[in-house]
C-alpha cells in the first residue's frame, strides 16, 4: 500500500474521527451532495457518514475532502414553488441589468466592474450612445 493511499484510508475513523476512504473508492450506499442531487435527493439533515480524501497541492491542508451521506436516509428534493421561480427570475434580471444606464443585457454583468462595460469605460467605447 502506498503512503498516499494509507493516509486516505481509515474505515474505522480512528485518525480523522469519521470513516475516511480514498477518492473514487466510496462504499456502496454512500454518495456526495452532487451525486445525491443527480439522483433527485438531498441529505435531509442527516449527519456526515464518511469522507473521501485525496492529496492536493491546491489545498492548504494538503488534501481535498468530499463528505459522504447515506443514500437510504436521503430525502427527495423539495419542488420549486411559483414564488421561488419568481424570486429566481428577479434575481437573474438584477444580475443582467446595469445599475447606471438601466439597460438589460442577455448575459450577467461582470461583478468586478459592478456595471456594464460601456458604463465602466465610456472613453474607450465606440458605441453610438451619447451621455
Please give the C-alpha separations between residue 119 and each of 31, 98, 101, in angstroms, as whole numbers. 46, 8, 7
pLDDT tens for each residue of 91-122: 999 999 999 999 999 999 999 999 999 999 98
pLDDT tens for each residue of 22-78: 888 889 999 999 999 999 999 999 999 999 988 777 766 677 889 999 999 999 999
- DSSP helix/strand/coil, 10: strand
SS3 content of the chain, % helix, strand, coil (to 5): 25, 20, 55
- Other residues' Cβ atoms within 10 Å of the Cβ of residue 74: 20
pLDDT for the residue 106 = 95
- Other residues' Cβ atoms within 10 Å of the Cβ of residue 43: 20
What residues does each domain of the chain span?
3-76, 82-120
Which class for 27: exposed (0-12), middle (13-18), buried (19 or more C-beta within 10 A)?
exposed
Question: Rounded mean pLDDT of 121-131?
Answer: 63
Amino acid at each position: 500500500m502506498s503512503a498516499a493511499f494509507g493516509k486516505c484510508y481509515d474505515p474505522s475513523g480512528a485518525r480523522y474521527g469519521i470513516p475516511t476512504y480514498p477518492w473514487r473508492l466510496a462504499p456502496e450506499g454512500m454518495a456526495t451532495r452532487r451525486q445525491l442531487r443527480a439522483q433527485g435527493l438531498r441529505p435531509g439533515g442527516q449527519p456526515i457518514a464518511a469522507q473521501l480524501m485525496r492529496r492536493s497541492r491546491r489545498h492548504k491542508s494538503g488534501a481535498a475532502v468530499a463528505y459522504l451521506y447515506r443514500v437510504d436516509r436521503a430525502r427527495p428534493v423539495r419542488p420549486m414553488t411559483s414564488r421561488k421561480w419568481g424570486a429566481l427570475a428577479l434575481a437573474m434580471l438584477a444580475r443582467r441589468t446595469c445599475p447606471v444606464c438601466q439597460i438589460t443585457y442577455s448575459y450577467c454583468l461582470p461583478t468586478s466592474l459592478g456595471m456594464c462595460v460601456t458604463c465602466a469605460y465610456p472613453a474607450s467605447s465606440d458605441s453610438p450612445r451619447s451621455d
